[in-house]
Structure formats: C-alpha cells, structure tokens
Amino acid sequence: MYTTEELILKIEIRLAAIPLNKEPDKLYDPISYTLSLGGKRMRPLLTLMACDMFGGNPEDAIEAAIGLELFHNFTLLHDDIMDNAPLRRGRPTVHIKWNPNNAILSGDTMFALAYRCIANTSSRHLKKTLDLFTKTAIEVCEGQQYDMDFELRQDVTIPEYIEMIRLKTAVLPAAALKIGAIVAGANPMDAENIYRFGENIGIAFQLKDDLLDAFGAEELFGKVTGGDIAANKKTFLYLKSIEKANESDRKKLLEYYKTGSDDKDAKVRKVIEIYKKLDIEIITEKEIEQYYQASLGFLNRIPEKTGDKSILYGFIESLMNRDY
C-alpha cells in the first residue's frame, strides 16, 4: 500500500509534466496558474487510493486521475465566472486576473485535456471509464444549472438542494473512486459500494463547505466568507433557517435573498446573526455527521480481504475535521 504522501507526489509530478509552456500564452497561462494554486487534489487522490486498495497498480490509474483533476479545475474556472467570485484558494480567480473570455476558453481547453488523459486509460478498462466519466461530466453540469436556477427561486426544498449538491459536487469524487476500482479490476458490487461511499462523503464535504462559507476563517478558507449569502445561494444553512425561523426572521431572510445588496457585508452579517440565533451551525454539523456515517456504511460493505481501507478512513476523517 502506498501512503497518501506518495500518491500525492505521483499526482504532482504528472501534473507538472503537462505541456503548458506554449503559445498562445493567454490560453495556457491561466491553466498553469490554476493548477499552481494547489488544492487538496482530492479527486485524483481518491482514484489512486481506490486502485491501490483493490490491489491494482496506481500507475495504471494515474492518467484517469489527472483527467479528473483537470475536469474539476475546469468546472472551478467556469463556476467562478458564473458566481463572479473574486478569490479561489486565497488568490485572484482567473476571470479577475485575466478576463472572463480567457477563463472560458482556458476552461474549455482543460476539459479537452481531461478527455485526452482519460482516453489514455488501458483499453481493457477504457469503455467503462469513459462511460462513467462522460455520465459524471453531464451530471456536474446538471447540478450547476440547478444551482443557478435556485438563485431565482424562493421555494427550494432541502431534498432539492441535496440532489443539486449530489450532482454538482458528490458524483465526481464518487466517480473518482469507482474509476480507481475499475482500473484495479474490482468486482461490480465492490465498485458500486465504493461509488456510494464517495457519493455520501461528497455530500458531507459540500455541506462542510457551506458551513465554512458562513462560519469559517477567511484566511484559512481561501474564499470570501459569506460569499454564498452575498450570491443568494440557497444552501442547507439558509433552507434550514427558513424552515425553523419565526415569521419575522423568515420574512427578513426572504427579503435579504430577493435581490443583490449595495452593502453585502451588512447583508452577510444580518443573515449570520439569524443562523446563530437558530443554532444552524450545530444543526448543519449533525447533518454532515449523518452523511459521513452513511458513507462509512457503504465502505464497510466492502470485505476486509479486498484490501486495506485504513488510508481511506484516515483521509475522509481529515476532510470532515478540516477548518478550511
């Protein structure tokens, strides 16, 4: 079994080998900049971890893992434009540092590069890998559309929100794990269990992200605190507050979320005051724990003889306990 550090090193070496030092520089420089911002490399790491756990050689899954990381970063470039986000991982977003047109085109190129990497998977596993990746890419776009639709609706339900984040966020780590399992030759039942494990941990991960957006330290989180509130995002925190609030606070929340605000700081502050009043932080932590435990249930269905799951247990525990 490889350590997390050894697998991350493989990922970083392969990412560094992508030929980006070429013309036109306004196409490739934003890609290089985006990859240089780092991040947790969660998706490619999960691919290699799963491949290793099921007895495969992580080198056989490295191209698919890199494809997933490129795809993930492509979605970030486009999401930041749609959200008009100024920061990503504590640095200016690509559409701010360059311009939206550059960000769109560089993102499109990253999507193409992702497919090229995925296509380098062994022919024995290529069809299943490509089918799953294509399905996942479509689902991520569906989730993003729901996310944008929800900004214009006042009647979003919590189940609708959970389905949106399942599509937008959770299916990608789930696919990353399953692709690793496929490349390792895992049986279909184990591959499906590792997928469902990833799906649930992905939902928990996004709920944690939502929580940190409101209650995290900006210098640690790497994004503007309260960005979801400023952008009228109907997160779990907001929807649960609408559900629990008295008539007066519910009316205030609905009013805050109707339009933009000239004073975003004041809007964020007032919404968070209501969150605190309703113990939304505690409620969200409990919701995260439920999805975390569900994910462990699927992981535990995979027989111990299949492989050492301790590295996955340790990794997801660190994700759930993070403060950034």
pLDDT at 53: 95
Taking the C-alpha atoms of residue 187 and residue 23, their distance in angstroms, rounded to an integer, is 44
Say how many C-beta atoms besides its own lie within 10 A of residue 178's C-beta. Answer: 29
What's the confidence (pLDDT) of residue 218?
60
Q: Mean pLDDT throughout 292-318?
A: 89
Report the candidate in 103, 88, 102, 107 with the shortest Cα–Cα distance to residue 227: 88
Residue with structure tokens 């996955």? 312
**Which residues face 87 on adjacent strands?**
92
* The predicted structure's pLDDT at residue 311: 87
Task: Say what the pLDDT of residue 103 is.
Answer: 97
The per-residue pLDDT for 258 is 81
- CA 187 to CA 180: how far, in whole Å? 12
d(CA 144, CA 146): 5
- Which domain range does residue 286 map to? 4-320
- Whole-model pTM? 0.93
pLDDT score for 152? 85
Is the pLDDT at 231 greater than 80, yes or no?
A: yes
Position 116 confidence tier, pLDDT thresholds 50, 70, 90: very high
Under 8 Å CB-to-CB from 206, ≥6 apart: which residues?
A: 165, 168, 169, 170
CB neighbour list of residue 115: distance below 8 Å, 6 or more residues apart: 67, 133
Distance separating alpha carbons of residues 314 and 310, to the nearest angstrom:
6
221 has a pLDDT exceeding 60? no
pLDDT at 220 over 80: no
Is residue 92 exposed (0-12), middle (13-18) or buried (19+ Cβ within 10 Å)?
middle
Give mean pLDDT, residues 97-125. 97
pLDDT of residue 277: 97
pLDDT at residue 307 in the model: 80
**pLDDT cut 90: percent of the chain above it:** 80
Is pLDDT of 292 > 90?
yes
Q: How much is the average pLDDT of 102-107?
A: 98
Q: Hey, is 28 helix, strand or coil?
A: helix
Mean pLDDT across 161-188: 98
- Give the pLDDT band of residue 263 (cuts 50, 70, 90): confident
Mean per-residue pLDDT for 81-110? Answer: 94
CATH number of the structural domain spanning residue 106: 1.10.600.10
The total number of structural domains in the chain stands at 1
Q: Mean of the pLDDT values across residues 205-211?
A: 95
**Residue 223 banded pLDDT, cuts 50, 70, 90:** low
**pLDDT digit string (tens) for 57-76?**
999 999 999 999 999 999 99
Report residue 287 as tokens: 């919701």
Alpha-carbon gap, residue 22 to 18, rounded angstroms: 11
